[in-house]
Structure formats: structure tokens, C-alpha cells
Structure 1
Amino acid sequence: MTTADNSRPAILLVHGAWHGAWCYDRLVPELTALGWRVETVDLPSAAADEANTAGMYDDARAVRERLDAVEGPVTVLAHSYAGIPATQAAADAPNVSRIVYLSAFVLDEGESIDGMSGGKISGAGVDSLSAHGHYEDPKAAFYGDVAPRDAEEATARLVLQTARSFCEPLTAAAWKTVPSTYILTERDTALAPEFQEAMAARAQRVHRLPSGHSPFLSMPVELAKLITTDAGR
């Protein structure tokens, strides 16, 4: 979505694996209330279609298309898996002023989730690297600190995620040239805080939230204030 005033700062919200732009429904009004224009994008690798074979490069193209359509400087907020296509897309995007990695993967050229797992995904015999399925016990992993009813609703909206998206390696790392911030979620059970610490070492600034993996649902007010305060520094 986009607000009418193009003179305001813009932020592009990029969702993680198995999700969609819907996951930011509570964060968007908090950001707009603080004066931000908000853009979202749906990544093609996350879909209900079991025959879907879209990968990380397709996701990166979708992110880049949204960036190209935004006037003025843009802060990119990338959650979890989205850190990878956002890093790829922002590498040569002239209007990206900052990348905010929210409990996200911050990878280097040649790296992929599959590579970090020792080839467990590509070596599993997934036909054509198509639909990889759901995360095991997503409610507990993603929404442990989210209100029970909201967690149930979010879990019901999750879709399939392609294995290809986890296997395609980065060819460009925007965090080397674009200012970046990492928001570490300290009570995360989907992406371990120790792993996040290693990823955060690649960012210029690091903040911490006492939340699980999805603070845009569990603490959207606090997250919005943290994002906008950081961007204003």
C-alpha cells in the first residue's frame, strides 16, 4: 500500500518464507501514523501452488521492481528469509538508503540457506526444486509470543515455500555498500539468537527486541518506533 504524500519517507516491507505481505497488517498503520509511506511486496517463491518453482532470484526481481516504482529514498525492512532477496535486489538500487534486517539472513556472495545447511535441501531429492512445504510446527516457531487467536489466524494463512528459494546463492551483497541495521529478536525459536548474532556482525548497527520471530505481530508499536528512530539517526 502507498499513502498519498510522496514527500514522506518510504519503507518497503519484505516478508519472509511461507508468509505474504499480509503479515505486516499490524505494522503498516503504526508506520503510517509516524509519517512513513509504506510499500509491501509479495514474494513469488511463497505460494499455494504446489507446482510453483520460483526462486530467490525471482523474489529479488520482485523486490527490485517495487523499489524502482518508489519515488525518493527507501528503507528496506527484510524479515527472516527476505534478507537474502532484499540483499540481492538492493545491491545496485540507487534509491535504497538503508536495509533493516529483522531476525534475518545476512549472507555474502556465493552463500545460500542450502549451502549453510550442508546441502540438505538440494540433496533431499526435491523434484524440480518446487514446493518445499511448511515449516515444522510454525505456530510455535514463528508466533510463540503472539496472542493465541492471532497466532492461529497467521498459521492458517501460511503457504508453501519453494526449495529453489533456499538453494540459489547470492551474487551481490548490498550490505557491503548500503548502510544496514540488524534487529535481533532475543526470544526467537525459529532463528536462534546466537545465529542472529553472527548475521548481525555484518550490519553497521544492532538493536534488540525482547520478542519472538514475528514482532510485527507481537509488538508492532515497539517495532515501528525502533525502525523509525533508527532511520532518523
Structure 2
Amino acid sequence: MSTAPTIVLVHGMWHGGWAWERVATLLHEDGYRSVPVTLPGEDRAPGDPTFPGHCDHLAGVQAGIPGDVVLVGHSYSGALLGEVGDAPNVRGLVFVSAFCLEPGESVASVNDAAAGSQAGVNDIRQVGDHLVIDPAVARHAFYHDCSPADAASAAARLTPEHTSTRSTIVSRAAWRTVPSHFVVCTLDRACTPRVQRMMAARVDSTSELEASHSPMLSMPAVVADEITGFARKVCG
């Protein structure tokens, strides 16, 4: 009998590993070890807060895990999965309303090219070298199917993000060689379902949830099932 892979959970812009806490608990109950990553950033974790710094951080996390890994990325961190997700021990990639990018694209170029995002370039403030999203905008764009208490709590924990996270053009596409699954969130106001389906068509398999941009908060059990189902498929 094969050993279950370690599930590495990577958060989106402005968030932290805390966004995956509920899913991580459920994965543990199902027999999976998980590692919720907190990427470097202001008021978040030490280290290089830029896109290359995030890639290096995630590569270091992967390298420190013995055995098989399934990487799960939410939103922005899909771009990281594409850059460093083909490490030798990575068996699969899961994109949860995440940016599954072709080389030459960036989070900004894809999300701003199509109308409809309510967390796009016109909804974000730049303060120095960082991007800030106001709590009211976040509650509306990210958490509208969460309880009011959960939405308020999550919005209050958001931290500034370095501008490079949104603007860096990626150079690699690990999803071309690593088995990958895309979870489309059909009620998403931040990354529209149309944009998600365009990216989902690039990978091996896809599923759809009637969820906002943050299903790990609003329906963690369903997200956990999506992850473990794919992990069993790719790892046996």
C-alpha cells in the first residue's frame, strides 16, 4: 500500500497559511499530512516578499518534505505552482480558482484582460511597493458566501502584498508535465468563471464548485474532498 502524499497548501495574495486551517484539519482527519505555507510578506512572515522570493520559499518547502507531495494553490499562488511545481517529489498540482499561467503571462495580464473582476486593478490600492485591498472590497469579492463573522475575520487578517506578485511574467509551466486539476468556483467575483475556465482548459482535469473565491473558508469539506480525490488518483 502506497504512503499518502503530503499536501502542501499555498495561499493567495494578501492571505496567509491561516486561510487553509479548516481544510488542513479535515485532511488530517482523512489521514493526510498537510503543510499550510505562509509566504514571506509584510506583517506576515520573514523573507523575500517578491514573486521570485515566493518561488524560492515554496521550492524550499517542497525540498524539505520527504516522500511524495501534492501542491495545492489558491488564486495568485497558482503562478508559483507553474514556476516551481515540477520538483522531483511533486506528483500533482491542484489549482483552486488559481492562476494557471502560460509563460509570458502574469496574474495581472490574465485577470485584467477580461471584464468582470471585482478585485482587479481598479479595486486595489498601491502604497509604495505594496498592494493593499480594503476590507470592504475583500468581503464583497472574496467571501460573499461565507458567514458574516468569517468574512469579517478573514478580511481583517489580510496583509500588504508586494507589487511584483501581480506583475511578474512567468517563465515556466509545470502543469504541462505534472498531472494537474483545476477547481473552478462558479460564483467567484475576483477571478471570473470565464477566466477560470480558460485556464482550466489547459490542464488534465477540472471540476466546478458553486462557491465564491474562497471555498476553503465557505466549504472546506468539499475542498478537502477535491484534494484527496485527486491525490488518490495521482499517487495510488
What is the aligned length?
220
* Deviation at residue 70 of structure 1 after TM alignment: 0.6
Report if aligned partners of 1:9, 1:35 keep a CA contact under 8 Å in 2.
Answer: no
1:29 and 1:145 mapped to 2: Cα distance?
21
1:72 aligns to what? 67
- Assess, with a 3 A threshold, how the Cα gap between structure 1 residues 114 and 192 changes in structure 2: closer, same or farther: closer
1:29 aligns to what? 25
Helix, strand or coil at the partner of 1:211: coil
1:4 aligns to what? none
Helix, strand or coil at the partner of 1:137: helix
Helix, strand or coil at the partner of 2:77: helix
Helix, strand or coil at the partner of 1:47: coil
2:109 to 90, 107, 115: 115
1:138 aligns to what? 138
* Deviation at residue 227 of structure 1 after TM alignment: 1.3
Which amino acid in the other structure matches residue 26 of structure 1?
A: R
Report if aligned partners of 1:133, 1:162 keep a CA contact under 8 Å in 2.
Answer: no
Gaps of 5+ in 1: 1-6
2:179 and 2:38 mapped to 1: Cα distance?
24
Report if aligned partners of 2:79, 2:107 keep a CA contact under 8 Å in 1.
Answer: no
1:80 and 1:115 mapped to 2: Cα distance?
14
* Deviation at residue 68 of structure 1 after TM alignment: 0.2
Report if aligned partners of 1:184, 1:209 keep a CA contact under 8 Å in 2.
Answer: yes
- Assess, with a 3 A threshold, how the Cα gap between structure 1 residues 156 and 72 changes in structure 2: closer, same or farther: same
2:107 and 2:149 mapped to 1: Cα distance?
31
Report if aligned partners of 2:94, 2:180 keep a CA contact under 8 Å in 1.
Answer: yes
> 4+ residue stretches of structure 1 with deviation over 2 A?
46-49, 113-118
Aligned sequence identity (%):
33
Report if aligned partners of 2:143, 2:212 keep a CA contact under 8 Å in 1.
Answer: yes
TM-score of the pair, normalised by structure 1: 0.87
1:9 and 1:114 mapped to 2: Cα distance?
32
2:157 aligns to what? 157
The alignment's C-alpha RMSD in Å is 2.4
Work out whether 1:172 is the aligned partner of 2:172.
Answer: yes
1:56-97 Cα shifts (integer Å, max 9, x gaps):
111111110000011111000000000001211113x10110
Gaps of 5+ in 2: 114-119
